[in-house]
Amino acid sequence: MTPPTEWPLRQLTAAQLRTLRAIFADQAFDSLRTADRAIKSADPDLYADLITRVRPGSRDLARMACREQPALQETVRPMLDDADGCFQMLFVINDATYGPIGPKPEIYQQVEDLLPEILDLLAFHGGSNPRTPANTGRAHQFARVAGRVAGRRRTHLTEAWIADLSGAPDFLLVPSGRHQAAMVSGYLVAAVRLRLHDTLGPAWRPVDWVIASRSRSATAVTAVIGSLALYIDVTGGLHELLTTGVQTCALAGPSLWGLTQWLRGVRGVELASQARARVREDTGTEE
């Protein structure tokens, strides 16, 4: 019996095995996506019902559609069989990569018989991973730009973003070009928001200090209303203050108080009294 380490597929390099996995995974998922479109086009109601039970683009969805709607057998079954064959190939390739479990499966021998065609397929792809988009390098450049925009305090994000863009080729998790473009756009938006947060953050500290206390909020609102009344008295006189100024101040007061409540929620500021009560509750102490 031929030792597992001498099986022909074991002689392929790790890069070649990764490329094979990507080729057959792409073919399997393309077949399942085509089956999804065929089911949706033939019977939209059945498709809408199935996706509430199983994940779209899965073999289970195609099998259930063929079982519940026999008329779909002619169009969907070949696509499902093609996907099943590709997943069998993935089983063999993964076995060749990570080690055998038990004796050589029959499917393994069938794949070995196709080894010349497999080598031709690898030569056609030049040993590259077809699931790695051609603009991966450009996407990484945009991720580095986003990292620089985010600032020196967030340099760790660059490596994390590049890792997300690269995916996990060994597990067939590589973002498509369109997905990478969406990810890069999100990184750039996040980087701008982070830079604005870091730049404008100190300017919000006095505001946060005021709205963290009801007494300070009331004092600030009273000071603004008093300044407004004084301005109306200086510019329009006492008569205007007592006629239109009173109404203006009466409307401005509740509006400003509502603004402080809204800012407290938006900024996530906890009232100082509530914070003290929570600390006492956590520590079990009393005033």
What SS3 state is found at 283?
helix
Average pLDDT over residues 23-34: 82
Q: How far apart are the first and last CA of the chain?
A: 82
What is the pTM (predicted TM-score) of this model?
0.41
pLDDT surpasses 80 at 67: yes
Tell which of 73, 98, 125 closes a domain: 125
For residues 58 and 108, membership in a common domain is answered with yes
Residue 44 domain-assigned (yes or no): yes
For residues 186 and 217, membership in a common domain is answered with no
Provide the pLDDT for residue 63.
Answer: 86
Residue 109 domain-assigned (yes or no): yes
The winner for highest mean pLDDT among 8-17, 31-40, 91-100, 237-246 is: 31-40
Residue 41 domain-assigned (yes or no): yes
The boundaries of the domain holding residue 77 are 4-125
pLDDT surpasses 60 at 190: yes
For residues 173 and 108, membership in a common domain is answered with no
Percentage of the residues of the chain whose pLDDT score is greater than 90: 1
For residues 58 and 97, membership in a common domain is answered with yes
Tens digit of each residue's pLDDT (9 = 90 or more) over 211-227: 888 888 889 999 999 99
* 134 pLDDT tier (thresholds 50, 70, 90): very low
For residues 185 and 224, membership in a common domain is answered with no
Provide the pLDDT for residue 123.
Answer: 64
Q: Which residues contact 257 (CB under 8 A, 6 or more apart)?
A: 217, 218, 221
Provide the pLDDT for residue 16.
Answer: 72
Note whether 220 and 210 are within 8 A (CB). yes
Burial of 225 (0-12, 13-18, 19+ CB in 10 A): middle
Q: What tokens were used for 256? A: 């400003």
What SS3 state is found at 168?
strand
